[in-house]
Structure 1
């Protein structure tokens, strides 16, 4: 068994029904328990985001807006492009519907974990903030759960190597190889090495400056990146405006009836594809965003939790939807010669 087969086997075991039910089920439970706050508090989220309530003397290191940008910098990227394309190719257009459901309930999960991160954070004598699930697990559940906090920290570090680094840079290198050599030529090891070294250098310059520099850079890049991508997607959709209703119809039609050409004609495959790619894209339930939001400058955990809820909305409901509609409305997912190139 080679490494690719091993990874595929582990992926199949991890992204099985138990984990998806746990993550989405937790989102549904929290949505009900906190009174559908992702819908009721949407207007208030915008006010909090743009510092209507944040003060310079509030505890924390970065503004709520910069905290959101830093969190979005980890979610808006290849997951919105490659992840959505893979979801549609594997699960059909109906997978997009389940991505939406995952994002909507994931907003409640994101609210809860980020609010807890602010509530249970630690601020040392130098004013540096330490927050995240590893802190609120121990402080909220008690010292007897310190082992769980340690496990979270360890597995988060491991996960950051895969979904946070290897997947991203692999797609960047693949894109550069495609530009230089075309689709039909294998990637160049030299190009891969150069891309990796350049990326490592640029990332080092940012992350060695700590959370303040990360948030500062993210607040400059993420809004531009997000707006540019949305406008580019809307331009394509505008040119195909007459078939947008048909694209939406396909999404809802195949959300509950899997076509034979994808997912083996099984509805479970459609749901699995949408849920897995949705969670991969917005990271609701992963816990990584709570580490960033825990450093936000605020005295109100609930307010920062509401800001954090915008993450899954922007990432999945807005950006991923535009990607999905571009792929579906242009018919790219149905073209055999394009399928392998989408991912």
Structure 2
């Protein structure tokens, strides 16, 4: 009953209007910024490591990106991709690519506006994100829209990306591959989360800058080994991706078949879940960066979608397709584990370690996002109660059915994206003018 109810709501939220709005916003910024995500990507990648970190802020540009990546590179890259391809077929991966390409322009705009309209809270920490660029950029009369975003952000942090999918993925993966009881995993993750998050953004950023690069390299190498072993199947896999993007995928093996709409819907929804472009979460972290130029942090933020989807999700998707596990009986994390086990001696263990680190850092990042939304709604006095509630809720996700978790996450994600996308479209002129100022600055150097 609950699943059917959530499924009906999810289909309404993630219907054609939101999909068009998500992709359409990315297309608009792509055109108005002159294919910035393509021509300015080399500069953006350079800034990731060489930004001067001048100006007000709580953490370095890389620290802000690492915090954002900590929240974005998570179960969406492993379980989310597997779920998308299981339901929508290989063609779902193509639509993840499309959502990511245009989403890079959206992510740039989010990062830029976050820095331009940021402020300071009563504890001296930076406040920023869609709720602030909605209220300060569009005016006080749009505060209800900002409040709607902040409330949705708290719901995503507590019941969406931030908790349930992450702890569920960790618990199920450790139980299958290591035989650790779910209740023990839930308890350990809850305690570790409490130890890190009590320290706030600086502590979260330090943890993220240590874990994120390491886990990304391990996962990259492991995935590449699998792809090298099945190198002769890569051309066929890519063909399946492009064919399935525009044609129905026939049923076969453990796959039930998929329409083109299923490929589009699952590809874009899982893509947004993974890279969060347009969702409005990343600008909350971007606002904390030490930079004088909003456009500079916009470029750094943009690379997050590139790393997350164009690289990591592509590796996962191709690994699932070349090994043929997408057409089998497994699903979720077990599906990706099966792909790794096909080549690597300890494939399940390697994936489990990656999944634990991916999911744990996502929990940390979303703890911060939800906290900033709570501060906007109720002030700094609400930080401690929020952290206590967040920490208590984490363990619950380990005992909820996977289908229910994804459906609930999709709903609250969509609700969070709507006000942010409306604000981005309304402030597109500001994004263009700030971008021109930055190009002029660079031309004088």
Task: Give the alignment's TM-score, normalised by structure 1.
Answer: 0.92
C-alpha change, 1:248 and 1:32, in structure 2 (3 Å) is: same
Deviation at 1:5, TM superposition (A): 2.7
C-alpha change, 1:237 and 1:296, in structure 2 (3 Å) is: same
Q: How does 1:1-343 map to 2 (within 5 A)?
A: 1=1, 3-55=2-54, 58-123=55-120, 127-161=124-158, 162-179=160-177, 191-261=181-251, 265-335=258-328, 337-339=329-331, 341-342=334-335
CA–CA distance in structure 2, aligned partners of residues 152 and 126 of structure 1: 23
Judge conservation of contact 1:117–1:131 (CA < 8 Å) in 2.
yes
Post-superposition, which runs of at least 4 consecutive aligned residues in structure 1 deviate over 6 A?
Answer: none
Judge conservation of contact 2:23–2:102 (CA < 8 Å) in 1.
yes
CA–CA distance in structure 1, aligned partners of residues 146 and 44 of structure 2: 29
Deviation at 1:127, TM superposition (A): 4.4
RMSD in angstroms over aligned alpha carbons?
1.8
C-alpha change, 1:307 and 1:180, in structure 2 (3 Å) is: closer
CA–CA distance in structure 2, aligned partners of residues 25 and 312 of structure 1: 17
Judge conservation of contact 1:263–1:269 (CA < 8 Å) in 2.
no
Deviation at 1:176, TM superposition (A): 2.0
CA–CA distance in structure 2, aligned partners of residues 211 and 293 of structure 1: 12
Gaps of 5+ in 2: 337-445
Judge conservation of contact 1:60–1:127 (CA < 8 Å) in 2.
no
SS in 1 for 2:52: coil
Deviation at 1:4, TM superposition (A): 2.6
Count, aligned residues: 331
After superposition, the C-alpha distances for 1:36-73 in whole angstroms (9 at most, x for unaligned) are 11111111112211134323xx2111111111111011
Judge conservation of contact 2:53–2:289 (CA < 8 Å) in 1.
no
C-alpha change, 1:265 and 1:172, in structure 2 (3 Å) is: closer
Deviation at 1:193, TM superposition (A): 2.7
SS in 2 for 1:159: helix
Task: Give the alignment's TM-score, normalised by structure 2.
Answer: 0.71
After superposition, the C-alpha distances for 1:71-93 in whole angstroms (9 at most, x for unaligned) are 01111121011111111111111
CA–CA distance in structure 1, aligned partners of residues 312 and 84 of structure 2: 14
SS in 2 for 1:53: coil
C-alpha change, 1:92 and 1:47, in structure 2 (3 Å) is: same
C-alpha change, 1:250 and 1:121, in structure 2 (3 Å) is: same
CA–CA distance in structure 2, aligned partners of residues 93 and 299 of structure 1: 43
CA–CA distance in structure 1, aligned partners of residues 318 and 286 of structure 2: 31
C-alpha change, 1:64 and 1:23, in structure 2 (3 Å) is: same
Deviation at 1:10, TM superposition (A): 2.1
- Give the equivalent residue in structure 2 for 1:185: none
CA–CA distance in structure 2, aligned partners of residues 159 and 82 of structure 1: 18
CA–CA distance in structure 1, aligned partners of residues 197 and 50 of structure 2: 25
Gaps of 5+ in 1: 182-187
